[in-house]
Amino acid sequence: MVALDIDGTLVDHEGVLPDEVRRSVRRVMAAGVPVVLATGRGWHATRPVFEQLGLPAGPAVTSNGAVTVTFPPFNLEQVLTFDPAAVIATVLREHPTAAIAAEVVGQGYRVTRRFPDGDLSGHIEVVSADDLAGGDVTRIVVRDPEASDEEFVRLAERIGLHGVSYFVGWSAWLDIAPQGVNKATALAEVVGGLGYRAADVLAIGDGRNDIEMLAWAGRGVALGDAGPEVRAAADHVTAPFAEGGTVLELDRWFGPRRAFGGVPRTLAS
């Protein structure tokens, strides 16, 4: 099975899916190997990529593992939530200028203030912090475009974030999920349901929220432009995305030269 992150792995920072990446993914499918998207995006932002790739009906792991769906037709297979009240109060105490969003599964986000254009997609509703904290959620996003990712690493360490999982992005972006939930935990459920093992999985990603997935998979591959902690978790580091790193790794196993060679027996080499 092949598990693929989306942003920085399948699409560039403008959200564009290169034709060569699409062709490589379709060669995986042509070999009869399932392709599962594993992303921090919500389903509403994952669906366009799912459709652009032409994936057949099957599972997708979204919201950093908190939400697993099958499509088409759309069905929620697993939704994991947590009470965000303590996290929201702590974040605003330590970083009052932060914008906070709670995902509304399949629709968009409720936010305490507007995020920069392009950061979030779907229906956006501005609410008070108290309203945002009033019910269980699958995911909280903390953002401050005036801060750096290093500042957000320190913020996460300072506030502790006990009882949840968290992932610091590259641009002062903090994703907070239910405790113990990440892409690997959700993929383990998907893989087991499809009759595979972790050892059978090729996973490719580039972000801090891919670390658990890359360490868990039989072959975890980081893009060359991933951070040092992401590369350290991987079994292999391919070229940067802009230099075709995703294509190079997929074509190593499923490229044209393997068209009549069948599926590789092992991903360990």
CB 105 within 8 A of CB 67: yes
For residue 190, give both structure tokens: 């998907």
**pTM strictly above 0.85:** yes
Residue 268 scores a pLDDT above 80: no
Tens-digit pLDDT profile for residues 185-242? 999 999 999 999 999 999 999 999 999 999 999 999 999 999 999 999 999 999 999 9
Distance (Å, whole) CA 54 – CA 214:
24
Contact 71, 36 (CB under 8 A): no
Are 164 and 137 spatial neighbours (Cβ–Cβ below 8 Å)?
Answer: no
pLDDT tens, residue by residue, 70-87: 999 999 999 999 999 999
Furthest C-alpha separation in the chain:
60
Instruction: Report pLDDT for 19.
Output: 97
pLDDT at 151: 83
pLDDT classification of 256: cutoffs 50, 70, 90: confident
Q: Which of 85-94, 118-127, 157-166 has the lowest mean pLDDT?
A: 157-166
Sign (positive or negative) of CA dihedral 112, 117, 119, 121 = positive
All structural domains of the chain, each given as residue ranges with its CATH number in brackets, are: 2-79+181-258 (3.40.50.1000), 85-178 (3.30.1240.10)
At 157-190, the pLDDT tens digits run 887 777 788 887 767 888 999 999 999 999 999 9
- Calpha distance 109→143 (Å, rounded): 13
